Structure 1
Amino acid sequence: MTDATITAATLGSARATEDRMYRRITWRLIPFLMFCYVAAYLDRVNIGFAKLQMLDDLKFSETVYGLGAGVFFIGYFLFEVPSNLVMQRVGAKIWIARIMITWGVISAGFSLVSTPTQYYVLRFLLGAAEAGFYPGVIFYLMSWYPAHRRSQIIALFMVAIPVAGIIGGPLSGWIMQAFNGAHGMAGWKWMFIIEAVPSLVLGVMTLFFLDNNPSQAKWLTPEQKAHIQRALEIPVRAHARILSTVGNVFSDPRMLLLAVIYFCVIMGQYGLTFWMPTLIKASGVQGVVNIGLLSAIPYGVAVIAMLSFGRSSDRTGERRWHLIVPMLMGAVGYTIAALAGHNVPLALVGLSLAAAGVMTPGPLFWALPSAFLVGSAAAAGVAAINAFAGLAGFVSPYFIGWLRDLTQSSTIAMYVSAVVLVIGAGLILLIPAKLVNR
């Protein structure tokens, strides 16, 4: 046996050992974090289903609904960077538990809403309470996985978004129909109360289940902890200008470009998640349960697309086109949905393509800033990009609500969402491939 053969066999064995270790980490962390994000996302977007009853009960306009849906992201924007920096200081376990318990209580409080002002205030508080969860988890995963493993892992975590749609649509529709009138309360009020419970339970469980970082994980051996630390210390891009301090983050032009790109991604995403039930109803579907069941179809397609693109991106090391292609898919999907009218099958095809296109770029995007962010700059940078892009969550539902009131149709709004995705895809080409591709 030659030295080269022995070396190859040794490297292969080491890689297999490393793969087993990361699989163990994944099975330990990702399912629990996914459950947490499903609960978070459900509490964030179930307002889209509540809208089907709430607007008539409270006499709210589409503009009032859209503004309230978007106000969430003002609170999110203001508190996101501070939240992530606090998490870095106190640890993920305590801070994620705090976030989940707080937002569960506030989400249940929506059952008491009776005026637009109360609606706006609670949406703002929900955003402030949740701020830091998503970027916090992204930063948390960056402290466990080296860069070449992150796209697939973050994609697996973010599958929680369409899973929330798959579960939340039928569940929300069923609760609103089955509990409507129970103890004198409308179905949409029961929905907010019942769907807040998982967040509260998981928040308490976080205190007992999560480890702040690999060094505190008692289920890892000292050798495994050392291996993870060495892997994280390897420079992601030897030729890239690495940012390691908070001050660097806010003065680097690359951060602004990335923030604008992610803004376009989120603009397309929330145009769908907040208005999916309304768009399906507009195609001619009647009944909240039927709308909920059909809304699960686009989210199911999105799960397949997210996992496929994430696996392909990590395997090939290519990042840019793995972002551009799904964003263009999303633009095409919005266009088809806009043209579908009352053709339910065609509308579902368009919405499915749009869902796959707007949800797939999210996890893949984070491979870009991780190419040059480390340490406290990573905590601040991830939060800053997500906070700026989160403003799209304010702009998108409010703007779409305004367009619907103005035109009495969703068609123009879907065309606008398609154009925004095309612009974002074009901006990705401004990022040098050598910076982000492996």
Structure 2
Amino acid sequence: MSLERATMRRVSWRLVPFICLLYFIAFIDRVNIGFAALTMNKDLGLTSAVFGFGAGIFFFGYFLFEVPSNIVLDKVGARLWIARVMITWGLISGAFAFVKGEYGFYALRFLLGAAEAGFFPGIILYLTYWFPARYRAGVVSLFMAAAPVSVIIGSPLSSALLGMEGTLGLHGWQWMFIIEAIPATLLGIVVVFYMTDRPEKATWLPEDQRAWLVAEMNEEHAQKAVVAKHGIMAGMADSRVLALALIYFGTSAGLYTLGIWAPQIIKSFGLSTLVVGFLNGVPPTIAVIAMILWARHSDRTGERTWHVVIACLVAAVGLLLAGGAASTLAVVAALTLVNCGISAAKPPLWAMPTTFLSGQAAAVGIAAINSIGNLGGFIGPWAIGWIKDRTGSFAGGLIFVAGLLLLSAILTLVVARSGRRAAAADAVAH
């Protein structure tokens, strides 16, 4: 076995399963509100519009604190900062069990977003310290597979916890929040002892493998130094960062439409909560396989643009079909298309920013893309709730989110064209 292959295998086995577990827990705590709504909304008197706004306000907290959080992570190291993120979000997530009304609901969702800000882009940045560019889409796909996997496992788990209604005088949704918050807090403590900030500190790597990886990452950084942007302001000011953020906006609107509203969309066909839990896990099961295969194909071919465009279009078609679905089978099939498209678009999309950003510019740029883009996680769920209150149907909101994904596909083509022009200009200059 070659030194490179042995090193990357050891690094992958050490880091990827653990960060997948962290994201798995993060995503459950982020979207379990969708299952809580099956009974909580009635208990608290929340309308669809109030619930949609409250579910989405998470992303305002996320937006405000994302960039500062990633700058701090780059300064103090991933180990301590990711631990801080997880412990605080675990405590806030558990506090949802004691929410009393719509304003408390709004406040806690905002605080949860602020607490969790920096986790996802922090991990994306962290992976750039450990994996050369040719491995990144594949590694990011494995990391991001934790989101659909959390739905696969979390859906029946959450629906089962709702069955604890009345235990010790608490509602089932209260037990769901309490029990599902515990792992985040405990894993936050584990992070301090398990994560390693940089390859230079990886005592768990044999000396020859550590030396190879450090040299490889230093060489990649040096090669990018010629054309990549490094400073904080460069990461904020690059037009491609804004464009990628807008592309991510559409995919986030789609992702959180699924996470927050899919259980209620499926339940609208008259199914029990337990059946909804199992059916809601079917689309992401297929999406995990599709995402990993699509990302590997993107890495193998080195092509990113069309891998994002095609995936966004598939998701948009799925949303349109879901809006017109007349049976349980039809809506689950449509939601499967949406899941596959949304999940497959993200790894090749996240492989793009580090082709033109490095250092602090990468930290800021990745955080900016994620924070601005995740505002789609507010707009999508809020629009669906608002439109449903006025029309009595999910169809109008699903059409709206499909339009956002179509816009993401178009913007991806624009960014690719801009990138080719910039590369040509750099070639002439040098």
TM over 0.5: yes
Cα deviation, residue 240, structure 1: 8.0
Cα deviation, residue 326, structure 1: 1.0
The residue that corresponds to 1:186 in the other structure is 171
Q: Percent identity?
A: 44
The residue that corresponds to 1:156 in the other structure is 142
The residue that corresponds to 1:357 in the other structure is 341
**Cα gap change, 1:66 to 1:133, in 2 (>3 Å):** same
Distance in 2 (CA, whole Å) between partners of 1:183 and 1:268 is 37
For the Cα contact (< 8 Å) 1:107–1:192, is it kept in 2?
yes
The residue that corresponds to 2:249 in the other structure is 263
From 392, 395, 401, the equivalent of 2:376 is 392
Which whole-Å deviations, capped at 9, do the CAs of 1:333-378 have from their partners, x for residues lacking one? 111111112x111111100011111122122211111101111111
Which SS does the other structure have where 2:205 is aligned? coil
**Cα gap change, 1:29 to 1:285, in 2 (>3 Å):** farther
Distance in 1 (CA, whole Å) between partners of 2:311 and 2:239 is 25
Which whole-Å deviations, capped at 9, do the CAs of 1:118-142 have from their partners, x for residues lacking one? 1111111100000000000000001
The residue that corresponds to 1:40 in the other structure is 26
Which SS does the other structure have where 1:143 is aligned? helix
Q: Show the 5 A alignment for 1:313-392.
A: 313-341=298-326, 343-392=327-376
**Cα gap change, 1:400 to 1:236, in 2 (>3 Å):** farther
The residue that corresponds to 2:428 in the other structure is none
What is the aligned length?
420
Q: Show the 5 A alignment for 1:22-421.
A: 22-177=8-163, 179-232=164-217, 233-234=219-220, 241-282=227-268, 284-341=269-326, 343-421=327-405
For the Cα contact (< 8 Å) 1:176–1:188, is it kept in 2?
yes
Distance in 2 (CA, whole Å) between partners of 1:231 and 1:322 is 27
Cα deviation, residue 24, structure 1: 1.1
Which whole-Å deviations, capped at 9, do the CAs of 1:66-92 have from their partners, x for residues lacking one? 111011111100101111111111111
Distance in 2 (CA, whole Å) between partners of 1:125 and 1:413 is 26
Which SS does the other structure have where 1:244 is aligned? coil
Cα deviation, residue 434, structure 1: 9.5
Cα deviation, residue 231, structure 1: 2.3
Which whole-Å deviations, capped at 9, do the CAs of 1:219-271 have from their partners, x for residues lacking one? 11333233223322326987984111111122221111111111111112112
Distance in 2 (CA, whole Å) between partners of 1:373 and 1:173 is 43
For the Cα contact (< 8 Å) 1:148–1:314, is it kept in 2?
yes
Cα deviation, residue 301, structure 1: 1.2
Cα deviation, residue 393, structure 1: 1.2
- Structure 2 counterpart of 1:381, one-letter code: G
- Structure 2 counterpart of 1:253, one-letter code: S
Which whole-Å deviations, capped at 9, do the CAs of 1:171-230 have from their partners, x for residues lacking one? 0000101x1110111100000000011111111111111111111110113332332233
For the Cα contact (< 8 Å) 1:79–1:128, is it kept in 2?
yes
**Cα gap change, 1:238 to 1:182, in 2 (>3 Å):** closer
Cα deviation, residue 157, structure 1: 0.4
Distance in 2 (CA, whole Å) between partners of 1:151 and 1:315 is 10
Distance in 2 (CA, whole Å) between partners of 1:156 and 1:334 is 25
For the Cα contact (< 8 Å) 1:240–1:435, is it kept in 2?
no
TM-score for the superposition, normalised by structure 2: 0.95
Distance in 1 (CA, whole Å) between partners of 2:4 and 2:157 is 40
Which whole-Å deviations, capped at 9, do the CAs of 1:263-282 have from their partners, x for residues lacking one? 11111211211111011112
Distance in 1 (CA, whole Å) between partners of 2:129 and 2:353 is 14
For the Cα contact (< 8 Å) 2:200–2:210, is it kept in 1?
yes
Which whole-Å deviations, capped at 9, do the CAs of 1:11-51 have from their partners, x for residues lacking one? xx6xx321221111111111111111111110010000000
- Structure 2 counterpart of 1:163, one-letter code: V
Distance in 1 (CA, whole Å) between partners of 2:213 and 2:358 is 15
Q: CA RMSD in A?
A: 1.7
- Structure 1 counterpart of 2:110, one-letter code: F
Which SS does the other structure have where 2:374 is aligned? helix
- Structure 2 counterpart of 1:143, one-letter code: Y
Which whole-Å deviations, capped at 9, do the CAs of 1:286-323 have from their partners, x for residues lacking one? 22111010000011011011101111011111111111
Which SS does the other structure have where 2:130 is aligned? coil
Unaligned 5+ runs, structure 2 = 424-430
**Cα gap change, 1:353 to 1:180, in 2 (>3 Å):** same
Distance in 2 (CA, whole Å) between partners of 1:131 and 1:115 is 24
For the Cα contact (< 8 Å) 1:241–1:372, is it kept in 2?
yes
For the Cα contact (< 8 Å) 1:285–1:291, is it kept in 2?
no
Cα deviation, residue 432, structure 1: 3.1
For the Cα contact (< 8 Å) 1:306–1:359, is it kept in 2?
yes
Distance in 2 (CA, whole Å) between partners of 1:195 and 1:285 is 27
Which SS does the other structure have where 1:142 is aligned? helix
Distance in 1 (CA, whole Å) between partners of 2:275 and 2:121 is 34
For the Cα contact (< 8 Å) 1:240–1:371, is it kept in 2?
no
